[in-house]
Structure 1
């Protein structure tokens, strides 16, 4: 019988032993976990109650301070509506304060406050109740009477007097709540430590009486099994490794072949130019069928004979060790021109016979885009040159019109007056003194008009102030002279503290544009009031010309300028002059409301010269 007992299967004896000890160990650990959970849940419920009590107790201090603050605000209220609102807030604060005070002692389900059973805390509340009751009574007394009542100040004093003691005693109660909560936590920690020690003891016993003997037995059993199966397992691992490597290599080759065949323009050729391999993508691009692969590579790449001959020469000449790159245009079977970026790579085989590897990129779209860019660039250049020619002809035409206008002004104005002056001088009869005196008087007026016309003509040509003193004095002189000559109200406003000189070319063009704007306001807009304003900030010279004329439709600014007697080229020349000096011109006009023209010229502050005032 003893021999039969010792001959029981190994798995049976091991299972029975493990089951017995594991059940005991798991029962002990489960008991420890259950006890720990009961203690933790009980403490958490108590802690939630303590947290709520501490929160409400702490809030009592804030509510007392809020109550006193609202009483003080009620005393300073200036309107009946404000007083009524404050009384409502005080009543609400007082209600919450009283309910919280009562709930902290006797419990309150709505506030989740338990009934207080601590004798020491009840004693503290007993000392606090007198001050609380006094503050409640004072508040209710204040709420029951008007602000102007005689005892408002007395009740306020009672409230302030008891507030300090209330806050002090309430601090003691909160501290007591905190001490009690900490004591509960410490008690729970001690219990947790005991349970942890018990659990560790169970684990230690398991380690020495269960795991250690079992580990020795299992190790002995595994050692026996490993000795018997080590050789077969080792061979199986080797075979499996070889199979995996073979399968992986095969998969990599298949993937590489698929990429080369379907994603790259790839071909290889023998020494005589015959095809060894060509990718599917290459065949699709050239529109070639597989049955036509018996032709030389040069004939497959293009149908053009001249291109075929060139490719043959290129492929034959590239028999050295260097790699050759070329961009070649070919013609597919459909007659479509293609551009290929070809890399020809020489290869050496084991038989010492040379072959070539060809890698291509389809650059047809890039070449087409380059041609389009060249065409657009050429077209843009021709358009710019045509525009420059048109502008030049318009400028020359405008200059010619300006000369005609000056000649007309001299002929029609000064010339006519000189002719009239001559005729009147010749017609003076000194014998008739009365008529001679009248003619002399008329000659004086005519001479004054003649002088005025000469001054106007010379002033419009080149003012000396511009070159001598700069743009600011020149514009000031222009407004004065034009105001005298035309009888219009033309004002000048200089917002710059000192006279600043700019480049002579810029000053000339700015002066001419401003002069043109003022003359347009006088001649075409029929303005009676014109204001020329100058400002210079952050290196930007700004000139604004405002008038109260009849205005014009600004849509004509986008039309092609016409050189007519109405001055259609004036705005065009203004824009050209300002653009020439890299300035900016803004024109805003409303029909019947007037026009504003703004000239902005940006210059480096270091290049702006400070001239004489």
Structure 2
């Protein structure tokens, strides 16, 4: 039968100082080795996560590049001048080269791109079916670049790219998902290994307490527990924002810590002092920024909230900020993940400039508006969120045309279009479907917010009508519906539902006028 703990303690008490010193040194050595092993696991996990994150990001970028190749091919077919055609071809060549290099790097590795090329068999099996689609798209894109004067070749190759794009995107989505799953599996394994190492360390400490010095052992256990808690908090902090992040404390929103990307983005010093606050980094006089600060003050968790930030030299740029509240070192703090969207905005503005607009109103035409609606719905499926769709119809346009001429009718259409575009937000879109029908796409907006927006537009229109003094009524009716990814509604069904609500609103107006 094994000796009791009491007997072991008595035996330990009778040991000489030299023996105790040897055992204490041995225990410290074992503890040191286990601690080093645990730290080695953490460093390995962090280093491996860096590669895994790079691979996931690059694989995800392949989807964007394939979409960009499709878009640029289409732009080449619609170019209005030789300079436009040259610019689009140059951009297509750049996108194609980067797309092909990244694809090769994901398969075989590329040190400059930070791709190790160490794929599992499951990932290799997913890449296999993509080969034909990748080669077809690449060959078609190269054919477009090598035959600038052949319209038939251009159309045929654009059609080839579109035929293979959907399968390529679906395949890359599966690959990105598998990359992410494998990375998470590595982290889970490393955590279990770290737990095992920690458990062994604690066992050694317990034995040391039984044979050497209980108070010292308890102090070591407490310190190691605090260290483990700090490591867990630090890991959560890094996982909250894989790009730029800030650690913010208290009602004054004091910046406690910023990673290197945040320092470069905002021009912060390497070690922010307690006198560095978040509020001065936000552009003043901006309603969105004020709403963002109000939500922070209420302790809300935010996901990709759009704000305008100011860097160290006073330049303003737009960014998406996600916020999570955590407990760090016994304090309630907030982790802010920041992604700059200034470049995305500039690209979007350039795209809008060369897109097709309605000649009379300057709004997006029906075709472009439907494309934007499809893209918005697809983005909702990927990222979540809400999308309010509003169908707007002018009141009395036919009577205005008949009684006062089409010039006045055109003025009425243009006036309502101007009021609508001035009433919506920068992230929204206004579309002229044709005739006296308009469509508004209100992103991240519910029905109540959409109704308030349209009510303001109606009030502005009434002020415009009063100032213009026209001899005909100036008004519109609208129907508003909400789309979320869970609805499962198509774009046509969404517009039809908004149209029905608009028609009902128009009937209600007529009944009210008849009753009065």
TM over 0.5: no
Structure with bigger gyration radius: 1
What is the TM-score when the length of structure 1 is the normalising length?
0.32
